[in-house]
Amino acid sequence: MALEGNLQNMALSDLIQVFHTDAKTGILFLKGTHERGVIYVADGRLIDAVVVRGKERTIVATRDEAVLQMLTWEQADFIFRYEPTVRKRPIRIVHSGQCLILEGMRRHADPVRTLSYYNITPETILHLAALPRNVRSGVRLSIDQWRILSWIASGQNVHTICQATGLDVPAVTRLVVELMAIGLVEIAPCLSAATEPAYRDCTMIASAAPVYAHDVPYINKNSRSFSNVCGTMRQVCSEIDLLDVITRCINQL
């Protein structure tokens, strides 16, 4: 009892559309080359998601950011299982599936905008995010993520963290973005207005291209040879009219 396939045959955006239009409930598992993702769906709405990496299952992203990351995947096996208990899970995804699809398309078209790399400079000051009440434990961090987190806790900027940890700026930026995706870290409030994600306003990206691209024109054929088939069948049913036979079939089947 599951929907199975590969993103090459059915894109995640299509799956999200189907979940929404058919009010599906269940858990979608995706298995990419290096990462795995899970999306929880309740009555067609995306309520929670997570992306993990490697055998250690290090959390790379959660909630909206996890869905956005998965929308950029082109190759992954998926399986969607019906699971009614998902409805009892807390809703942790803020945006609608449609909004996330549009933002995912925008990021796909402009990879520079992927995540918040372009917002983080050596002068960026970071701080710990306030965790929601319903947050659950189970987050596993790598050693480098822990090291970065410990410096962020003391309100340092990226440049200071680089000096303290001995990591270069790109590496620290990548780790900070991963911690932001998990929801543990935020850019300090003085810069938050400039770094607000654009996808909070869906109207900005409403003019994006249509999601569906699989339609194939149907070959409309004339029906001359069908009458030949009917002629053959008339020979078989030599004594009665074919239409009469079919009508009787319909009535008696």
Partner 1 sequence: MTTHVLKIVITGGYATGKTQFVRSISDIEPVSTEQVLTATTERALKHETTVAMDFGSIAINDQITLHLFGTPGHERFDFMREHLLVGCLGYVVLVDSCRPAHLPQTQHLLFRSMELTEAPFVVAANRQDDPTALPLNYIRRRLGLPFNVPLVPCVATDRTTVRGVLLTLLKHIAARLTLHS
The contact set with partner 1 (CB under 8 A) reads: 1-6, 9-10, 14, 18, 21-22, 24-26, 80-82, 212, 214-227, 229-230, 232-233, 236-237, 239-240, 242-243, 245-250, 252-253
Query: Residue 74 has what DSSP assignment?
Result: -
Q: What distances in angstroms separate CA 82 from CA 14, 44, 163, one per listed residue?
A: 18, 12, 49
CB count within 10 Å of CB 67 equals 26
What stretch of H or E contains 172? helix 169-182
Which amino acid appears at position 103 of this protein? E
- In whole angstroms, give the CA distance from residue 187 to residue 170: 16
> Which residue number, 17 or 114, has a Cβ lying nearer to partner 1?
17
Least CB distance from residue 237 to partner 1, whole Å?
A: 5
Which alpha helices (DSSP H) does 29-96 contain, by range? 63-71
> Which residue number, 109 or 243, has a Cβ lying nearer to partner 1?
243
Least CB distance from residue 11 to partner 1, whole Å?
A: 10
Least CB distance from residue 93 to partner 1, whole Å?
A: 20
Least CB distance from residue 62 to partner 1, whole Å?
A: 24
> Which residue number, 57 or 248, has a Cβ lying nearer to partner 1?
248
Least CB distance from residue 236 to partner 1, whole Å?
A: 6
Cβ contacts of 243 within 8 Å, gap of 6 or more: none
Per the CB < 8 A criterion, the answer to whether 94 and 64 are in contact is yes
> Which residue number, 168 or 215, has a Cβ lying nearer to partner 1?
215
> Which residue number, 128 or 240, has a Cβ lying nearer to partner 1?
240
